[in-house]
C-alpha cells in the first residue's frame, strides 16, 4: 500500500512543517458521552480536497487524469461550497450540519500531525496511543510496543468482546498489536475470518482475489461490507473501519481515481449513518468519528507523495457527529488541534479516561 520509507537525516524534521514544538492544547474538561462509537479512517486524504473539493490545477492535468473533461464534469464547480459538495455531498449536507468539521487551514483551524515522519504507521500509532513515537519511522510490519486506547477499552468488562477493527491495509494488526492484546481484527486479504466475518464473505473475498492482484490493501468495498455485517449482527460498542484505496491511487498519480475513491467514502459514510439510524439499538446513542492518518503534498506536483520532506504531510483533518456533539459545522476558531488528541477523545466519548503512556488531552468538542 505505502512505500516502506526510512528517513536518513533527522535534521530535516522541521523542513516539512511538522509539529515538533507544540503550544497549548485546545481541550475541555468534559466530552459528550455516547454508548457506541464508530471510527472511520480515510488513509492519506488531503484537507484541501475535503474542505475545498477538487483542485483545478490537478484536475486539468492530463498526467493525472485519463480524461480531464470527464473529471471536470464530475467534480468541478467554480463555487467552493458547491464544489466540495460534488465530491462529498453527505459530509457537507449532513455531517457538517449535525456535527463538526475541523482542519480548514484557510480559516486558521489547524489539525496537525505530531509524529516526525508523515507516513501511515506513525500516524495510526499517534491516533490510537495518544502520542508520537520517534522510533516508529517506517511502515514495516513490526509489533507495536505502545499500548493503545482500543486494547485499554477491551480490558473493561462493558467492552469485553465489543471492540472490533476492519481495515483494508494489512498492517493494522501490527500497529494495534493484536498478538499482544487479542483485539478482534479483520485486515487486508485475511484468509481467516477471525470470527468476524461469515463464510459467505470469505468466499466473496476469495473470488475478488482471483480477479485482482493481491496487494497489501484490500478493496475498500469488501472492508466496509464486512464491517457493516458485523455492526448489524454483533452489536460492537467500538468499531474501527480503516479505508485505504484512495492513498493507493494518489501514489500512482491517478487523481481521477483518487477522487472517485473519496466519493465512494462519502457514500459509505451515508450508508453507515442510515444503517445506524435504522437500528433502535444504535440510533441516538452512536457517535461517528472520521479522520485521516496523515496529509500529503499540497502542490500540484507533490500531491502524490507524503513524508517528512513533503510540505503538507503533517496537515490532517477530522469530522464528528453524535449525541451531545454541538452542531458547530465547519469550525472556524483559530486554534491548533492534534491527531494525538484522538486517543483520549475516543475514551472520553465512551465515558472513560485513557491514561496509559501519558496521552495528549482530549479535543474540545463544545
- Tell me the mean pLDDT in the region 97-116: 97
| Among candidate residues 183, 319, 167, the one with its CA nearest the CA of residue 242 | 167
Query: What's the pLDDT score for residue 10?
Result: 47
Q: How confident is the model at residue 170 (pLDDT cuts 50, 70, 90)?
A: very high
Q: Could you tell me which residues come within 8 angstroms of residue 209 by beta carbon, excluding any fewer than 6 positions away?
A: 189
**Cell for 199?**
463464510
Q: Is the pLDDT of residue 186 over 50?
A: yes
Cα 93 → chain centroid: 20
70, 294 contact by CB (below 8 A):
no
Rounded alpha-carbon distances, angstroms, from residue 210 to 1, 197, 213, 252: 19, 19, 8, 22
139, 2 contact by CB (below 8 A):
yes
pLDDT digits (tens, 9 = 90+) for 268-277: 999 999 999 9
- Tell me the mean pLDDT in the region 17-40: 74
Query: What's the pLDDT score for residue 30?
Result: 77
Query: What's the pLDDT score for residue 216?
Result: 85
Q: Which CATH architecture has domain 41-349?
A: 3-Layer(aba) Sandwich (3.40)
SS3 78: coil
- Is the pLDDT higher at 80 or at 20? 80
Query: What's the pLDDT score for residue 14?
Result: 41
Query: What's the pLDDT score for residue 200?
Result: 65
Residue % of the chain over a pLDDT of 70: 86
Q: Is the pLDDT of residue 119 over 90?
A: yes
- Tell me the mean pLDDT in the region 2-13: 46
Rounded alpha-carbon distances, angstroms, from residue 315 to 19, 130, 176, 264, 308: 10, 17, 23, 22, 12
Report the distance separating Cα 285 and Cα 171, nearest Å: 31
> Taking CA 119 as the corner, what is the angle to CA 36 and CA 141, rounded to the nearest 5 degrees?
80
pLDDT digits (tens, 9 = 90+) for 124-161: 999 999 999 999 999 999 999 999 999 999 999 999 99
- Tell me the mean pLDDT in the region 303-318: 98
Other Cβ atoms within 10 Å of 225 Cβ, number = 17
Query: What's the pLDDT score for residue 210?
Result: 55
Q: What ranges do the domains of the chain cover?
A: 41-349
Phi/psi at 281 (5° precision): -75, -20
- Tell me the mean pLDDT in the region 52-78: 98
Query: What's the pLDDT score for residue 8?
Result: 45
- Tell me the mean pLDDT in the region 197-214: 62
Q: Which residue matches cell numbers 519511522?
A: 137
Average pLDDT, the chain: 90
In this structure, the chain runs to a length of 366
- Tell me the mean pLDDT in the region 69-77: 98
- Tell me the mean pLDDT in the region 305-321: 98
Q: Which of 21-30, 76-85, 196-205 has the highest mean pLDDT?
A: 76-85
Query: What's the pLDDT score for residue 27?
Result: 72
Query: What's the pLDDT score for residue 192?
Result: 58
pLDDT digits (tens, 9 = 90+) for 210-263: 556 667 899 999 899 989 999 999 999 999 999 999 999 999 999 999 999 999
Query: Any idea which of 5-9, 283-287, 304-308, 331-335 has the lowest mean pLDDT?
Result: 5-9
> Taking CA 186 as the corner, what is the angle to CA 182 and CA 187, rounded to the nearest 5 degrees?
115
Q: How confident is the model at residue 17 (pLDDT cuts 50, 70, 90)?
A: very low
| Among candidate residues 187, 142, 190, 196, the one with its CA nearest the CA of residue 169 | 187
Q: Is the pLDDT of residue 48 over 90?
A: yes
184, 194 contact by CB (below 8 A):
yes
Query: What's the pLDDT score for residue 173?
Result: 96
Half-sphere exposure of 199 (CA within 13 A, CB side): 0
Amino acid at each position: 500500500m505505502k512505500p516502506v520509507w526510512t528517513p536518513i537525516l533527522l535534521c530535516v524534521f522541521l523542513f516539512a512543517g511538522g509539529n515538533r514544538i507544540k503550544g497549548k492544547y485546545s481541550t475541555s474538561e468534559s466530552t459528550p458521552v455516547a454508548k457506541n462509537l464508530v471510527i472511520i479512517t480515510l488513509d492519506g486524504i488531503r484537507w484541501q480536497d475535503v474542505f475545498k473539493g477538487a483542485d483545478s490545477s490537478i484536475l486539468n492535468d492530463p498526467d493525472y487524469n485519463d480524461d480531464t473533461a470527464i473529471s471536470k464534469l464530475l467534480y468541478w464547480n467554480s463555487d467552493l461550497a458547491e464544489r466540495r459538495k460534488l465530491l462529498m455531498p453527505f459530509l457537507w449536507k449532513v455531517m457538517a450540519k449535525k456535527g463538526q468539521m475541523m482542519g480548514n487551514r484557510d480559516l486558521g483551524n489547524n489539525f496537525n500531525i505530531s509524529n516526525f515522519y508523515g507516513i501511515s504507521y506513525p500516524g495510526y500509532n499517534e491516533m490510537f496511543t495518544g502520542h508520537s513515537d520517534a522510533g516508529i519511522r517506517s511502515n514495516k510490519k513490526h509489533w507495536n510496543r505502545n499500548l493503545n486506547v482500543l486494547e485499554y477499552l477491551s480490558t473493561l468488562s462493558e467492552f469485553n468482546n465489543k471492540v472490533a477493527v476492519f481495515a483494508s491495509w494489512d498492517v493494522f494488526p501490527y500497529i494495534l498489536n493484536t498478538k499482544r492484546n487479542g483485539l478482534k481484527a479483520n485486515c487486508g486479504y485475511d484468509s481467516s475470518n477471525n470470527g468476524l466475518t461469515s463464510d459467505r464473505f470469505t468466499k466473496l473475498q476469495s473470488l475478488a482475489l482471483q480477479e485482482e492482484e493481491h496487494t497489501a490493501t484490500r478493496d475498500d468495498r469488501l472492508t466496509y461490507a464486512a464491517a457493516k455485517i458485523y455492526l448489524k449482527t454483533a452489536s460492537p460498542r467500538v468499531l474501527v473501519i480503516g479505508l485505504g484505496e484512495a492513498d493507493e491511487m494518489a501514489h500512482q498519480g491517478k487523481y481521477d481515481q483518487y477522487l472517485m475513491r473519496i466519493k465512494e467514502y462519502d457514500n459509505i459514510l451515508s450508508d453507515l449513518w442510515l444503517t445506524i439510524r435504522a437500528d433502535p439499538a444504535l440510533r441516538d446513542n452512536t457517535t461517528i468519528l472520521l479522520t485521516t492518518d496523515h496529509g500529503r503534498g499540497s502542490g500540484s506536483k507533490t500531491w502524490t507523495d507524503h513524508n517528512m520532506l513533503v510540505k503538507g504531510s503533517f496537515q490532517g483533518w477530522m469530522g464528528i457527529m453524535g449525541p451531545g456533539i454541538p452542531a458547530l459545522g465547519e469550525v472556524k476558531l483559530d486554534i491548533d488541534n492534534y491527531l494525538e488528541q484522538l486517543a483520549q477523545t475516543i475514551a472520553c466519548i465512551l465515558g472513560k479516561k485513557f491514561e496509559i503512556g501519558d496521552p495528549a488531552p482530549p479535543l474540545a468538542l463544545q
